Structure 1
Amino acid sequence: MKYIFRNLTIFSIFILASVFSSHATDFVSVRYGVITGRIVNKDKIAVYPAVVRIEGFSIGDDADENGVFYISGVPEGEHIIIISGIGIKLKKVTVNVVAGKENQVGDLEVESSDHSLSEVTVLGKSEARRQQEQAYAVSVLDLKKDYSAAIPLNKLLNTVSSVRIREDGGMGSNYNFSLNGFSGNQVKFFLDGIPMDNFGSSFNLANFSANMADRVEVYKGVLPVNLGSDALGGAVNIISRKDANYIDATYSFGSFNTHRAAVNGAYTANNGFTVHANVFYNYSDNDYEVYVPIVDLNTNKKMEERWVRRFHDAYWSVGMRFETGVTGKSYADYLLAGIIYSKNDNDVQTGATMDAVYGGVKAKSSSIIPSVRYKKDDLFVDGLSLSIYGTYNVVDAYNTDTLKRRYNWLGESIPSTTAGERYYTDVKIKNREWQGNGNLNYIINSHQSLMLNYIITSMGRRSNDKVHQDDPMNNIPQRLTKNITGLGWQIRYERWNANIFGKMYRLYSSAYKRVDEYTENARWIQAQDRKTNFGYGAAVTYYILNSLQAKLSYEQAYRLPEAVEMFGDGLIQQRNPDLKPENSRNLNIGLEFNKIFNVHTIFAETNFIFRNTKDFILKAVSLTSNPTTGYDNLGKVLTRGVEGTLRYSFKELFYIGGSISYQDIIDNKKYEEIDNSYVGGITENVTYKQRLPNIPYLFANGNIGFLFRNIGWKNTALTIDYRLNYVHEYFLSFPGLGSKSSKNIIPEQFSHDISAGYSLAGGRYSVVVECTNLNDRKLYDNFRLQKPGRAFNVKLRYFFNK
């Protein structure tokens, strides 16, 4: 592996050296700046879609859903902006660009056009260069309106159709991201296109403030080739803010002694030098009340259920992301070196279910992740773009369970005959992973482009348990290496565009597993595996009308097992080195309607999903007195679902919307083979055609909001927002096994959140008061692990943008 790393490093250095030398003259003679602004109509309503380009240059940008565009790498001096798009008249605006600055042109007003679609100007290379996501089933969550919200980023995603965030408890608890029936590691997470698979437990969506990102892109199925991942059911890409010079600081406090603080900022000098920084701190006692059975520690008998407070569930985390380098240079659109540091400390209150209660189990982790990112358009030849990044993840996890006592939910304890409440351990797990990615894009002509993407990740793990020094697994290396290569072709015309791609997945794993357990020959053996799989797919979109878009996508996708699934987490998650890659045939069909009627905006979307999955990796729980979780392959799983979203807004003063999702996920394997048995052979699967347990199949959300301006003083705003979440009841185990009365269910749940915010000085200062779980309902997600009841939070914000 060291030879692969060396070769990639030499290749990267060669590319960078070539870029520096070939553009040395340009660097001396030409300086660059950024142009940003917003496209609006006569009523100051954002116009979308719209295309902005620089006359005489092959550079430009598409305005986003808020009408905002951002064009980097513009030579200094006077230029003409050309604005065009569906249903709008072509407009030209003169702009004087100052090098090294973000040149803001403000709101650019355009007029409506009655011309047909065929008369709309289509951009050439500059527009085609931009990543086209229109053909994919993707939802974009614009975070600007949520910068003052008190809830973390992961919960904001609950407003996206087909998305469910399932949590084990309060702040710092494990959470599961579910998208169209796929969950956990089947859905991949990216930060500016960089995979976050092994960034550590403290640097995740649950700890992020919405203020650190511009938007979140949620792909429901087929992914663009440039993301270069083995996601099976979709992906979430967090896009950082592009503000050149700003400070955004927030602090919130609330119930259960919960505190969140975040500072986000950027500075860009006239010469292109730039610094980006994101810092966060989170703390909570998590001492909310839960309704649980009480066990008499002396007789070990269950008594009545009652309300008690959690007493061993405190959590804190701290994190920092820092990047510095140059932007807008002739040799690089950006060249940034960065580092991520994060750390957390978590008291573990329960096991996989609330039948287990702990008073001394702890888990903590720390991460240090250096990185480098580089991007250049028009490299060597016009239309050729290169982007590369590399990271090295140093992640250490610690699990401690050494207490010689037993606890119940009253906080009472008695001495135990053995050490360890769950499993006697004091282990340090060292994860070391490097990953590299190269993305090459070439514009063939105004209608076609090619993209090549390669990503390699190699993770090594060692663990050492202080209290089990004779454990044969101490300091034994385990490794998981993935190589994913993707090649895509895009074709684009006025009414339609399509993406066709192929992928090669390669996996190497070296792990250890226990064989001949409970015999005199019980031992650990090394299990090595190499696998190669090929996937393919296509995504097509067609504009039936200017405001009505149809989407169709299909893929044969593979998802390679993750380290935590194969190696375990050293505490509750058990190991399974025999996991096979999942593979799935995925189909998405959708319609999207987006129309502006003067001051009214209507958005409607519906999607049908079909997934035929083999070797589905399912997370299960052992319902024992000391429950654990583990991953296993489930032969065949069939998913069919439908989702719908409807939103309406009146100017910026009022909005209302909601979404609903239904997904029928069944065990589709009729027969199963019996291995490791004296009987052997093939038997009928007793759960054939039954819905998979512990996965919600019907859920919905809704929201409504009001905005009142100039309340009390000028440049002030008062916002009132209400959110509703609904989850239909679902079974904890397969519904066809045993009598219905004997089954555990996750009950039907309604939850309500409400908030009110007030901002001054055009948004520079703001305060938000929020109440979550307003009706104080018992809320559950995974295995009936109860989440917090009614909670209040206050968030203060200061924002400055130069």
Structure 2
Amino acid sequence: MYRFFSIFFVSLLCSISALAQSSLSGKVCDDDSNPLVGATVQILSTKLGAVTDSDGWFQLKTVPKGNISVKASSLGYAPQTQNITIGDSKVTLNFSLEIDAVRHKEILVREDSPIQKMRKAPESIVVIDAEEIRGRATAIEAILTKATGIKIRKTGGLGSASRINIHGLEGKGITILIDGNPLNSPEGNFTIDEIPIDLIERIEVYKGVVPARFGGDGTGGVVNIIFREFEYDYLDVSYQRGSYNTNRATWTFKKVFPELGMEVSTGGFFNKADNDYTFESPYQDGVMITRDHDEFLSYAYGAGLVFNKLWFEEIELGVDVYRNRKEIQGIRTNIQFAESRASAVIPNLNLEKEDFFLENLDFENTLQVVIMGYNFIDTSHVHYNLDGSINTDDTYQGEIGSYANDSDDKQLEIRNKLNLLYTLSDVHSLNLNHNFRRANYEPEDELASEYAGYNISGYPSNYTSNIIGLTHQMRLLDERFISMTGVSLFQMSTTITSNDYIDDNNLREPSISENDFAKMGYSEALRYRPLHWLNLKASYQHAMRLPYSNELFGDGVYILASPNLAPEESDNMNLGFFIDTYSFAGLHRVQFEANAFYTDLTNKIQLSSDGVNYAYENLGHVVIKGFDAELKLDISKAFYLHGNFTYQLAKDAKEFRDDGTSNPTYDMKVPNIPWLFGNFGIEYHRENVLGAGTFLKLFLESSYTHEYFYNWEISKRNPRRIPTNFSHDVGIEMAFDNNRYILSFEVQNVTDEDLITDFQLPLMGRAAYFKVRYSFLNAVH
């Protein structure tokens, strides 16, 4: 084995040396020698290009030899093209761009940035540029929940369960992707809040429509988190300390060897929080509860090796490791010992190639092997009351369940994602995406089975899914009109062995169930730009959401297997417009977006109980209508205002129960879903406040959520309401040496409001966080 890997890597290195090419690097500045950040550098007549960093540097590693033309461009500046000859040595090329001459005619022509182009795509999309939040002492969910049409509801502090709601749909109907690949976690034991902001390039949120090019499923939309990537050496480390003994650290390192065509990188993060705040019990008036058993600990690390001078333009080998431990906090009961642990090891291989056997055919394939483990530990026979006294009447063998538990569940998944993009012409392109997933689940809990007298944890099961998406994109009228038509095939096969269980005092033997189905989905998204500042959008999708493995397999403890689950289906429609204009009404820039949406969801998967056991089943028919809007104002170079609001009404559309009787909740609001919320923020920016290369940012952000029911609104006197929340965050960020050093301080819920977002579970009050970050970039080799 070791000899094989030695030969493999030596062969690769020999190939690298034989295929060495030249590199091109340099700097882009304005005519006053100030570096231009985000400028585009492109080798004409090729697809090679780069974007400058915070110091104006760029690098292109695989530059063809011979005579080439290189173009540099930046917003508000006249582009510049230089002709050079590339030989065997490294070449340095600098650009000095002048302000576009049309400024003198009071007409400003600007080229859209890559993120701005995404915002003007046909889909209803929110793009969060991490450059605007990187360095802040906050977390991803705190940023996402302030975006238009999105609400995240948490049950506690760092590491606690949370649900993402997009246009009224939430939970597993929302697909979470990391760099376009499904989030790898032991079925909900990893939260996106654990991902440090400093590792992120941007966050894309597709509302209502899941693009077929992702090859994924979901009825409510997609959250796609894109990690940062540079073409040169860099080092980034940060540490954050805050209330409730919250500690967070992250590190990223990359070294580029351009002569060898090789890159080595490593990174990781560490999170720990006690989450030990006190609140009044939502179930017993006057009883105070301290979350004294809610500690959360997680860490992850990984390494990658990239080769970019072989036949494949990029071969990336990597491995990621994740671990967590979470104490289980009781609300109705005083839990002091039960906890859960989760782990994942993910080796992966990524291949990329342009002109893959055919000109203009781009190939990308990602293979992942996901080895997951989950442990639920509940072995204490001693039970405590909320006042700390011992409950001597309790006969349960564990603090939570009737049996003691010490599970050791394992799951092995093989995932492969193939993406082919074929550009037929400037007008037409085709994208084919195939997402394959195979999962084998092996539950085990010898302790619980010993107490029960039979195998209570379940038996091995497996499932296979294939999702194939084909998208045709058409661009007309100088790209003022864009059409994206997609079709998808959703196929899944399952083989599930049911649990042993007791029925009429007799032990029922397990049965094997097999299920196989295939269904089609389709979508259409349009964008028309009648004026350079106005974009009109419309989209429709018939979407699917395949059952998750824990819904099919159960949890081996309390939830039985459900082998015959059908996928959720929804029809989603969006209609909206986006305005983006400069120098309007005395303002530097104005952006305004509004969207109306409609969703019809059937076969909703939800957890149900027969009074003894729990299992997932297909229930319900929900119709959602609503609209959202967002306004962004760059008042001047120093002041920036932004605000948004969302109205969404989700109603039970199932008129009759399965037994034919009338449904008493028909046409009522679906409980526990916020229906009216909004956000507002103001920022003050100032450059060179403490000398050259320094930057100051002050901000205030406010969030409002109107009251809503957490159970069916049978009576207007129903006390089961989550009250109106109105909170405010303030912060300061100070950068030195052109963002190399950043210090930030943030106070969340500065007025210490009582906040409740989910099932009457109060959140922490005022919390303060301090963060220090160091970033080193080296664009010259």
TM-score range, shorter chain: 0.7 to 0.9
Q: Deviations over 1:418-450 (max 9, x none)?
A: 311211311111111110111111111121111
Does residue 1:546 correspond to 2:523, yes or no? no
Change (3 A) 1:41 1:334: farther
* Amino acid of the structure 2 residue aligned with 1:169: G
Does residue 1:279 correspond to 2:268, yes or no? yes
Does residue 1:762 correspond to 2:738, yes or no? yes
Q: Deviations over 1:736-789 (max 9, x none)?
A: x2x332441111101111111222222222211111111212212221112111
Change (3 A) 1:799 1:592: same
2:601 aligned residue: 613
Does structure 1 retain, via aligned residues, the 8 Å contact 2:458–2:498? no
Offset, 1:80: 2.5
CA distance in 2, matches of 1:542, 1:47: 30
Change (3 A) 1:730 1:348: same
Does residue 1:361 correspond to 2:349, yes or no? no
Worse overlay, 415-424 or 200-209: 200-209
Partner of 2:172: helix, strand, or coil?
helix
Change (3 A) 1:536 1:113: farther
1:677 aligned residue: none
Change (3 A) 1:100 1:248: farther
2:352 aligned residue: 375
1:555 aligned residue: 541
Partner of 2:322: helix, strand, or coil?
strand
Does residue 1:596 correspond to 2:582, yes or no? yes
1:787 aligned residue: 763
Change (3 A) 1:602 1:62: farther
Offset, 1:654: 2.2
1:441 aligned residue: 421
Partner of 2:143: helix, strand, or coil?
helix
1:142 aligned residue: 129
Offset, 1:384: 0.9
CA distance in 2, matches of 1:743, 1:574: 33
Does residue 1:702 correspond to 2:662, yes or no? no
Does structure 2 retain, via aligned residues, the 8 Å contact 1:39–1:68? no
CA distance in 1, matches of 2:577, 2:32: 28
Does residue 1:315 correspond to 2:302, yes or no? no
Does structure 1 retain, via aligned residues, the 8 Å contact 2:23–2:59? no
Offset, 1:151: 1.2
1:405 aligned residue: 382
1:7 aligned residue: none
1:565 aligned residue: 551
Offset, 1:602: 1.5
* Amino acid of the structure 1 residue aligned with 2:535: Q
CA distance in 2, matches of 1:62, 1:712: 28
CA distance in 2, matches of 1:594, 1:326: 40
* Aligned residue runs from structure 1 range 512-531, under 5 A: 512-513=497-498, 518-520=503-505, 523=508, 524-531=510-517
Offset, 1:451: 1.5
Structure 1: which 5+ runs fail to align?
Answer: 1-16, 115-119, 295-301, 675-681
Offset, 1:317: 0.6
Structure 2: which 5+ runs fail to align?
Answer: 1-7, 104-108
Worse overlay, 465-474 or 233-242: 465-474
Worse overlay, 760-769 or 201-210: 201-210
Does residue 1:656 correspond to 2:641, yes or no? yes
Partner of 1:564: helix, strand, or coil?
helix
Does structure 2 retain, via aligned residues, the 8 Å contact 1:203–1:342? no
Change (3 A) 1:36 1:571: farther
Q: Deviations over 1:35-70 (max 9, x none)?
A: 79889999999999x986422325458999x99999
Change (3 A) 1:340 1:618: same
Offset, 1:265: 2.4
* Amino acid of the structure 1 residue aligned with 2:679: N
* Amino acid of the structure 1 residue aligned with 2:278: E
* Amino acid of the structure 1 residue aligned with 2:469: G
CA distance in 1, matches of 2:433, 2:490: 12
Match of residue 174, structure 1, among 146, 155, 161: 161
Does structure 2 retain, via aligned residues, the 8 Å contact 1:39–1:63? no
Partner of 2:217: helix, strand, or coil?
coil
Partner of 1:754: helix, strand, or coil?
strand
Does residue 1:239 correspond to 2:239, yes or no? no
* Aligned residue runs from structure 1 range 387-398, under 5 A: 387-398=364-375
Does structure 1 retain, via aligned residues, the 8 Å contact 2:495–2:512? yes
Offset, 1:321: 2.7
Change (3 A) 1:571 1:506: same
CA distance in 1, matches of 2:706, 2:328: 29
1:117 aligned residue: none
CA distance in 1, matches of 2:94, 2:454: 66
Match of residue 46, structure 2, among 47, 54, 57: 57
Does residue 1:753 correspond to 2:742, yes or no? no
Q: Deviations over 1:280-326 (max 9, x none)?
A: 011111111111168xxxxxxx5x42444211111111111321122
Change (3 A) 1:97 1:548: farther
* Amino acid of the structure 2 residue aligned with 1:31: Q
1:188 aligned residue: 175
Offset, 1:169: 0.4
Change (3 A) 1:121 1:79: farther
Does residue 1:154 correspond to 2:141, yes or no? yes
2:469 aligned residue: 486
1:9 aligned residue: none
* Amino acid of the structure 2 residue aligned with 1:770: E
Partner of 1:762: helix, strand, or coil?
coil
Partner of 1:665: helix, strand, or coil?
strand
Does residue 1:340 correspond to 2:320, yes or no? yes
CA distance in 2, matches of 1:102, 1:764: 26
CA RMSD of aligned residues (A): 3.8
Offset, 1:249: 0.7
2:106 aligned residue: none
Does residue 1:503 correspond to 2:492, yes or no? no
CA distance in 2, matches of 1:289, 1:336: 47
Does structure 2 retain, via aligned residues, the 8 Å contact 1:462–1:474? no
Change (3 A) 1:603 1:256: same
CA distance in 2, matches of 1:732, 1:686: 17
* Amino acid of the structure 2 residue aligned with 1:318: Y
Match of residue 570, structure 2, among 584, 609, 631: 584
Match of residue 255, structure 2, among 267, 288, 303: 267
Partner of 1:171: helix, strand, or coil?
coil
2:195 aligned residue: 208
Change (3 A) 1:347 1:31: same
Does structure 2 retain, via aligned residues, the 8 Å contact 1:283–1:316? yes
Offset, 1:584: 0.8
Q: Deviations over 1:131-174 (max 9, x none)?
A: 99812222111101222111122322122211111111011111
Worse overlay, 283-292 or 778-787: 778-787
Partner of 2:651: helix, strand, or coil?
strand
Change (3 A) 1:216 1:483: same
Identity %: 27
